[in-house]
């Protein structure tokens, strides 16, 4: 929850939706969201058409944070091999936090079970950008099949974040060797 | 939903819980479960202490089906390499069904967000058996580090079933080469 004095009702609702959905799931009630945000239901429905729209907007709102937490700076001079590994080092590091529950975008899609839900579509789009990063680096690194390698990497990303999120694996010592094996097999520099 | 005439209230509740949770999520209401099972709430609470217990029992009930759908027959004469690939061929095949929503055990753990929930514990245990299968085959196949390979394989399994379940990947042409790369790197016969 943000503690800035000047945050608007809209900002507080987006923050409450992102935080509570991550910790408790997409079935969190409108009452709980409004209470956490300190906003009346009437105000919420003036700002958002529905809880579904609030949820979708809250996922969109976290995009920059998601990307900044995972991706290396653009053109940082490192080889694609290292830039791809950077994402997985970040994931392993994030997974060590007690509040880690896995990738919020994967979780929302699994929970909603509805590919046409506005929040599922936002989540899908944001993850597709991560896949596109993998694909671009794979191509730049000379991968034999950049599309296939990108599919493998996002699969490892989702499997790892899911397993860490449910407490089934710490990821320690797992991701770097796994990803390196896939990069080497694809011939990525 | 089973259509056998002689199914008991208990069987119908277990079936409804497994089916509806898989399609709609763990927040499905007791009323909906009882209605689908054709059982009164009073009867349900005579058979199960709580909805949580019913959910846990319904996951346990599907264990045999889960294992039979994925694992090769014991000692079928094939090399560990092929026996491990069998699991992923089965997963790819299952993921092609329109009703596929990913691994029910992973989904339940992601949705509940509570490792101490009885259903999370059942799900965790059942998936640990799949990891144990991978580990035993890895060891039999001479893997350099059977524990590490088993972690990689269950990660690929969960990532693949999650991504197929949300419609982000069809898995076609993805799993066999990915798994073969990991098996080869680990030196599995």
Which residues have a Cβ under 8 Å from the Cβ of A7 and sit 6 or more positions away? A15
Query: Which tens digit of pLDDT belongs to each residue from B47-70?
Result: 999 999 999 999 999 999 999 999
Domains of chain A by start residue, with CATH: 9-51 (1.10.10.60), 63-185 (1.10.357.10)
Report the alpha-carbon distance of residue A45 to residue A27 in Å, rounded: 17
**B27, B110, B167: residue with CB nearest A27:** B27
Residue at token pair 């699969």: A155
CB–CB contact A169 B157 (8 Å): no
Q: What is the mean pLDDT of residues B31-58?
A: 97
**Averaged pLDDT for residues A76-88:** 97
Tokens of B156: 């690929």
Which residues have CB under 8 Å from A47's CB, separation 6+?
A: A9, A10, A13, A54
Region of B46 on the Ramachandran plot (φ > 0 left; ψ -120 to 50 alpha; else beta): alpha
User: For position A75, what pLDDT does the model report?
Assistant: 87
CA distance A20 to A155: 26
Residue A126, C-beta contacts closer than 8 angstroms, at least 6 positions apart: A59, A60, A63, A66, A105
Phi, psi (degrees; rounded to nearest 5) at B98: -60, -30
Residues of B in contact with A182 (CB under 8 A): 178, 181-182
Mean pLDDT for all residues in chain B: 96
Whether the per-residue pLDDT at B152 is higher than 70: the answer is yes
Does B138 score more than 60 pLDDT? yes
**Secondary structure of chain B in HEC code, one letter for each residue:** CCCCCCCCHHHHHHHHHHHHHHHHCCCCCHHHHHHHHCCCHHHHHHHCCCHHHHHHHHHHHCHHHHHHHHCCCCCCCCCHHHHHHHHHHHHHHHHCCCCCCCCHHHHHHHHHCCCCCHHHHHHHHHHHHHHHHHHHHHHHCCCCCHHHHHHHHHHHHHHHHHHHHCCCCCCCCCHHHHHHHHHHHCCCC
Q: What is the pLDDT, as a whole number, of residue A73?
A: 95
**Which residues in chain A are closer than 8 Å to B108, comparing Cβ atoms?**
none
Please determine, for residue A149, whether its predicted confidence score (pLDDT) is greater than 80: yes
Cβ-based neighbour number of residue A116 at 10 Å: 7
Statement: residue A125 has pLDDT above 80: yes
Residue pLDDT, tens place only, A93-105: 999 999 999 999 9
Helix H or strand E encompassing A2: none
Cβ of A166 and B111 within 8 Å? no
Distance CA B61, CA B65 (A): 8
Task: Please state the rounded mean pLDDT for residues A87-113.
Answer: 97
Mutation pick from A26, A114, A127, A159 vs chain B, by most beta carbons of B within 10 Å, is: A159
- Kindly list the residues of chain B whose beta carbon comes within 8 Å of any beta carbon in chain A: 23-25, 27, 101-102, 106-107, 109-111, 113, 115, 120, 124, 127, 148, 151-152, 154-160, 162-163, 165-169, 173-174, 177-178, 181-182, 185
Residue A157 is encoded by which pair of tokens?
């990303």
* Nearest partner of B17 among B130, B97, B98, B104, judged by Cα: B104
pLDDT of residue B5: 60
ipTM field? 0.95
Flag the least confident range among A121-125, A144-148, A184-188, B3-7. Answer: B3-7
Contacts of A173 in chain B (CB under 8 A): 148
Q: What is the value of pTM for the model shown?
A: 0.96
| pLDDT interval class at B75 (50, 70, 90) | confident
């Amino acid at each position: 929850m943000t503690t800035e004095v000047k945050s608007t009702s809209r900002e507080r609702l987006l923050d409450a939706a992102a935080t509570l959905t991550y910790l408790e799931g997409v079935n969190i009630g409108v009452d709980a969201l409004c209470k956490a945000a300190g906003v009346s239901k009437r105000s919420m429905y003036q700002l958002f058409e529905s809880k579904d729209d609030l949820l979708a907007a809250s996922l969109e709102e976290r995009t920059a944070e998601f990307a900044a937490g995972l991706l290396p700076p653009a053109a940082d001079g490192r080889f694609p091999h290292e830039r791809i590994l950077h994402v997985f080092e970040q994931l392993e590091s994030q997974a060590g936090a007690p509040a880690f529950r896995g990738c919020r975008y994967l979780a929302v899609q699994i929970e909603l079970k509805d590919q046409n839900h506005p929040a599922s579509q936002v989540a899908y789009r944001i993850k597709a950008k991560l896949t596109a990063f993998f694909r671009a680096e794979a191509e730049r690194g000379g991968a034999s099949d950049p599309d296939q390698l990108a599919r493998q990497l996002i699969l490892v990303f989702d499997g790892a974040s899911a397993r860490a999120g449910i407490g089934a694996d710490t990821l320690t010592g797992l991701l770097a060797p796994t990803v390196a094996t896939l990069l080497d097999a694809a011939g990525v520099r």
